[in-house]
Structure 1
Amino acid sequence: MRPQFLTRTLCIVVLVAGCVLHAGESRSEPVSPLQVRVIRFEGLHSFSPAELKKVLVTREKKFGWFTKAPLEEKTLAEDIERLEKYLVSHGFYHARVHHEVQRVFRSEVRLLIRVEEGPPMTVSRMNLVVDGASSGPWHREVVSVLPLREGDRFTIPAYEDIEKRVLLHFSDWGFPKVRIDVRARLDKKSNTGVVSVDVTRGPVCFFGAVKIEGNEQVSDEVILREFTFHQGERFSAAKVQETQQRLFNLDLFQLVDFTVEKLDTNETVLPVRVLVKESKPQTIRVGAGYGTEDQFRGQAQWEIRNFLGDGRRLQVNMKASSLVQLAETKFVQPYFLYPRSTLTVEGGGLHEDQESYENRKFYLKPVLNYKWTDTLSTFIGHDLEANRLLDVKLDAPALSAADQEQEEYFVSSFLGGVVWEKVDNTLNPKKGWRVLPNLEVASAELGSNVEFVKFTLEGRGYVPVRDFGVLAAKLKWGGIRPMEGTPDIPIFKRFFAGGTDSVRGYPYQRLGPLDGDGNPIGGMTLVEGSLEWRFPVYKEFDGVLFFDFGNVYSSSFEILWDDLRYSAGCGIRYNTIVGPLRLDFGYALNPPEGDFFSPFQVHFSIGQAF
């Protein structure tokens, strides 16, 4: 009996100890939470995966190896519910969403979401009534601005946008007191809907007196000259918005608020109250940065707004890097001679320490800009330069008669050009184009002791590719022709290529003619081109694949296609409010003979290459 009792007791002890040890192991090795490597959709016909992923709270790691994307059951259930509501709001009232979690590797899973869209709800009929009439001169124009039309898929966002669109349309034609009644009758059995829009225009209204409040240093005259409407004109909401934007563009105000009064009365003459809050009259800005070409750089700016009144601006700019040191004063006079013209006068001193030369320049450059439209402007100007070529770092065979150290060159030239552009973002464009032709003519008749004609033409384009980023392209061509009396063009006026913003498989200014020591000589003709694919990677990070080509030629307006140099590479961008931080790796595909530089190049800077 005793041995049997001991045996049972021993078994119980071993069992309890095993449970304790197992529990301890479980506590010491917690189960790692599941991580979503990728989210995939099946069954989509009317939506893109990227569009539906924005609805989800659950995220995916994708290529982010160091990021976390935990899978939480409660959040996933709410995501499925959100997706179904989103599909309903976009016209799929019978949609169903199912999901499946598939193990990929260890704690990583693939989230598979199957969508059964079902038949869409379509608009079978649009009933538009304006002032009690179902047809008339207004109907065609109103139908053209409606976000929903017969045959379209019925969506809640478009339905809710009808009233806003109709209100803006009639407000632009002088009917800001228009009344709009929008109704929809949906049949889920037939999946058809009837949308009715009943419009009562109300009376024609006109702009009344303008009252300006809040301005202290900026005169009423400076504000009123930006107005695109006048008292007594037929009311237009578009003109109010345009005027507000023009006042913001003056950079004189922190706040610009327009209030159209008496909209809730029977009055047809509507006074306009403008409330502004002025910006600080003076601003000091200081910045610093680093680039692979100019190394550490710094800049400072002192700006005086509304300088001596009339909206004038005065800037004092200081910049310094290993390549350039600048001290400059800039004066801007808006409304010079004509409302659309602006006079800018720049003057100062510049010291350049480039790869092959060192030059000191004092200059004065008045430029008159005329803005024809929001996308097109032209300019003409006069550039006066007093240059002293302090040092030329070329070997004797490469030196020209114009490359003499301590030689002084006075350049007086006519400037002209066009800026034709339409981009969505000036710092990081994703859509649009730019065309930039520029002309410089230096002549003895203008007092110049160096005579030449210099012309450049550059085009840039940006095309969004749905969820795959942006395709960007650039093509630039330029040429210099010496005029009679100038056998050689000084080195500081020649073309150079290669580097961060040029052909990225080459070092800074090292693409083109080189001397025996590998120093750039510069040339009389320039060709550059680039093609980039900019694609999203993770949050604020973008990736880039690029192909560049170009060269610099010794003769004027000469292009030798067989001598073009090519490079390819990749890069990464980190988007900031002042533009993307850029890191590029370029490789020269057909470098010239010689061992002056590596075919591999690394470039770091701020801003896109173009």
Structure 2
Amino acid sequence: MPHVLRLSTKRQVASILLAGVLFGGLPWAPALAFDLFGWFRGSADAPPPPDMEALPYSLDYGINGGGSDLEQVLKDASTLQSLQADPPPDAAALVSRAEADLPRLIDALWGAGYYNARVSINVAGVPLALQAPRTDAAVRAASTYQARALVPVQIVADPGPQFVLRNVSIRDARTGGTFTPAELPPRIVKIQPGDPARSADILAAEARIVDHFRAQSRPFAKVPDREPVVYHPSQVMDVTLGVDPGPRAGIGVIRVQGTENVDPAVVRSFIYTEPGDPYSPATLASMRRSIAQIEALSSVRIREGETLDAYGNLPLFVEVTERQPRIIGASIQYSTTDGPALRAYWAHRNLFGGAERLRLEGNLFYLTEDGGRPNREGDPRWEDFGGRFRASFLKPALGGSRNDLLAEALVERDRTEGYTSRLVNGTAGIRHRFSETFSIQGGVEYERGQTTDVLGQIDYQLVGLPVSLSYDSTDNALNPTEGVRLLASVTPYPEFLGSSVPMTVARGTASAYYSLDDEARYVLAGRLGLGSIVGADLEEIPANRRFFAGGGGSVRGFGYRTLGPTFLGEPIGGRSLLEASVEARIKVTDTIGIVPFVDAGTAFASSYPDFDERVRFSAGLGLRYYTGIGPIRLDVAVPLNRQRGDDTFGIYVGIGQAF
């Protein structure tokens, strides 16, 4: 779950986070500053002022038809545009730069389908054109601007009419015949007579054709022959593509390369493809994602063999690079809701050479009941502080198998709006990975603790046998656009194992993602969460084990863990839980998106949602800024059925989508 910063009208939260990361053998890394949204940068294309050392120039475009789209085509191709902030030293260099641009600009217009295009470049009022004899007039004219003013440069284009496709022929390069619609569907080719004769569209069609045949287990599919013929008087193009699908192949021998300190058997255990399985790019992508889950590795590259083996299979070479094994970090945080907090962690990602991960993490925070204010007696007391220490260990690929050993220990003293708790917890389990998407886990859990809330104090001991399953077919962890996520767990705490509160806790969450278009600019996302506790009465269950709703990962707009049964006006949690969310994720540009959403949910006193409690609803609008590591999220949510004491709205900031 992404970390979020939540603000509300009653609890204005301001956080400052200072973090440092230390990799094994390296000193503390220097701080790097960047302007995330580019709001504070000047134009990167702005020319510098005139001086004696350089000859900067202004750049203008004059296009006879075609509009802003053609102007952008010319800008993308022009070195005068891309190097404007790096001016030449003198007039001769400026003229040479302009002359070198002429064939590039013609090629760019041809690529856009304008095969009768003409381009000239005016330097200080002197025109330059292809196949025109060079004179020194442009050099002399530009020299007069040295150290005085920007040299005026104008790119003048007469694109003429845009050519269209007249005939489109796709043939088999091996036999000379044509492909049937079943072999090569028209939806793959897409280009057809009457379409603009753009080279980018033709190249895109070639790429789709190759991808189509590669997805049919033909790794050597290619387009060896391309025959575009332009008829200038008719303003049309005929294009013939010769496609060689290549032979069908399976996966051959898989060799792991690049491991120096990590056991290659661990890498191999995360490869679920076996020799003889059908080849496909999707299989290779799945293999790459699976191997990337190994924290000891920093990169994964899969290289395909150049020829098939004797069995008609394609050898694969998995090339990996390793991370520095050690990492350490720390942070200092302050908020008016929770007061000050310190956090530090250390981790080793390859403890014994088998990609074992050991992580130690400690948190120290100020326990408050009143929005971060100190106790009324003045100075903070030791009992006003809480803390959490966690140690976790992961041993992947036990004996080279797909079984992983997981163990964790936790010591915690915490306080929320509804309760305070102290506990010691330890878990150990085995996870079996059936595939990259599906795994099950079973183990044992021990917890001993004490909770106090408005219902009283509970001293308890729990010994459980947790079992869980996970299925994740989504395409991206932080920004899924397609697929399904399922997580279900059930943990019985029977009395005969030593549990003082015999009960069974079950919880499940499911989310689904559906893209409405090929570019995933419009994505529908939905989430449903359910929980149930059976075997014990509500007042017997430790407060930290009951279900609560509300907050950034639940029903946005309401306070964190405040929705559910109450007693004397205080939230006490419930024995069952219902949560649901629906979002429409809309990309306005490649980097900016908006997300209208609706959340609903609450906790119930009974062991199943009987709706004795009022289901709470909220709605809101989110803003997304898409980066290379994932979207930065800003959500504003408003409760739709507020009750006394509820916030009027909530603001949430985090990295990654809400679910």
Q: Could you say which TM-score interval applies, normalised by the shorter chain?
A: 0.5 to 0.7
**2:70 pairs with 81, 99, 120, which one?**
81
> What is the Cα deviation at residue 197 of structure 1?
0.9
Residues 447-526 of structure 1 aligned to structure 2 (within 5 Å): 447-463=498-514, 470=522, 473-483=525-535, 488-516=540-568, 518-526=569-577
Aligned to 2:433: 371
For 1:522, give the aligned amino acid.
Answer: G
**1:551 pairs with 590, 598, 602, which one?**
602
Q: What is the TM-score with the length of structure 1 in the denominator?
A: 0.67
Aligned to 1:306: 350
Cα distance between partner residues in 2 of 1:505 and 1:177: 53
**1:446 pairs with 497, 511, 515, which one?**
497
Q: Secondary structure of the residue that 2:465 maps to in structure 1?
A: strand
For 1:330, give the aligned amino acid.
Answer: S
Aligned residues between the structures: 512
> What is the Cα deviation at residue 183 of structure 1?
2.6
C-alpha spacing 1:443/1:185, structure 2 compared with 1 (3 Å): farther
Cα distance between partner residues in 1 of 2:618 and 2:189: 47
> Is 2:297 aligned against 1:253?
yes
> Is 2:390 aligned against 1:328?
yes
> What is the Cα deviation at residue 498 of structure 1?
1.9
Q: Which runs of 5+ in 1 are unaligned?
A: 1-63, 96-115
Contact 2:359 2:393 in 1 (8 A): yes
> What is the Cα deviation at residue 182 of structure 1?
2.8
Residues 233-252 of structure 1 aligned to structure 2 (within 5 Å): 245-252=289-296
Aligned to 1:281: 325
Q: Secondary structure of the residue that 2:540 maps to in structure 1?
A: coil
Cα distance between partner residues in 2 of 1:232 and 1:430: 31
In the TM superposition, what whole-angstrom CA distance separates every residue of 1:387-415 from its partner, at most 9, and x where no partner exists?
A: 222x32x1xxxx2xxx42xx421112232
Cα distance between partner residues in 1 of 2:547 and 2:554: 12
Contact 1:298 1:319 in 2 (8 A): yes
Contact 1:473 1:529 in 2 (8 A): no
Aligned to 1:126: 169
**Which one has a bigger Cα radius of gyration?**
1
C-alpha spacing 1:538/1:285, structure 2 compared with 1 (3 Å): farther
> What is the Cα deviation at residue 494 of structure 1?
0.8
> Is 2:385 aligned against 1:342?
no
In the TM superposition, what whole-angstrom CA distance separates every residue of 1:130-176 from its partner, at most 9, and x where no partner exists?
A: 5335269x995466895456669465334325665666646985764
> What is the Cα deviation at residue 325 of structure 1?
3.2
> Is 2:489 aligned against 1:423?
no
Contact 2:295 2:355 in 1 (8 A): no
Cα distance between partner residues in 2 of 1:319 and 1:421: 30
Contact 1:163 1:182 in 2 (8 A): no
In the TM superposition, what whole-angstrom CA distance separates every residue of 1:194-225 from its partner, at most 9, and x where no partner exists?
A: 42315384898995795x66543223444455
C-alpha spacing 1:225/1:414, structure 2 compared with 1 (3 Å): closer
Contact 2:249 2:313 in 1 (8 A): no
Cα distance between partner residues in 1 of 2:523 and 2:254: 49
C-alpha spacing 1:272/1:431, structure 2 compared with 1 (3 Å): closer
Contact 1:349 1:361 in 2 (8 A): yes
C-alpha spacing 1:151/1:352, structure 2 compared with 1 (3 Å): farther
Aligned to 2:225: 181
> What is the Cα deviation at residue 348 of structure 1?
2.3
Q: What is the TM-score with the length of structure 2 in the denominator?
A: 0.63
C-alpha spacing 1:353/1:205, structure 2 compared with 1 (3 Å): closer
C-alpha spacing 1:450/1:421, structure 2 compared with 1 (3 Å): same
Contact 2:163 2:235 in 1 (8 A): no
Contact 1:178 1:202 in 2 (8 A): no
> What is the Cα deviation at residue 522 of structure 1?
0.8
What is the aligned-residue identity percentage?
24
C-alpha spacing 1:146/1:272, structure 2 compared with 1 (3 Å): same
Cα distance between partner residues in 2 of 1:498 and 1:583: 17
> What is the Cα deviation at residue 433 of structure 1?
3.8
> What is the Cα deviation at residue 333 of structure 1?
1.9
Contact 2:467 2:489 in 1 (8 A): yes
> What is the Cα deviation at residue 306 of structure 1?
2.4
C-alpha spacing 1:429/1:523, structure 2 compared with 1 (3 Å): same
Contact 2:538 2:574 in 1 (8 A): no
> What is the Cα deviation at residue 553 of structure 1?
1.9
Q: Secondary structure of the residue that 1:563 maps to in structure 2?
A: coil
Moved more, 171-180 or 481-490: 171-180
Aligned to 2:580: 529
For 1:350, give the aligned amino acid.
Answer: E
Q: Secondary structure of the residue that 2:345 maps to in structure 1?
A: strand
Moved more, 159-168 or 521-530: 159-168
**2:419 pairs with 345, 357, 361, which one?**
357
Aligned to 2:128: none
**1:199 pairs with 244, 247, 269, which one?**
244
In the TM superposition, what whole-angstrom CA distance separates every residue of 1:462-481 from its partner, at most 9, and x where no partner exists?
A: 45567996555444343434
C-alpha spacing 1:488/1:227, structure 2 compared with 1 (3 Å): closer
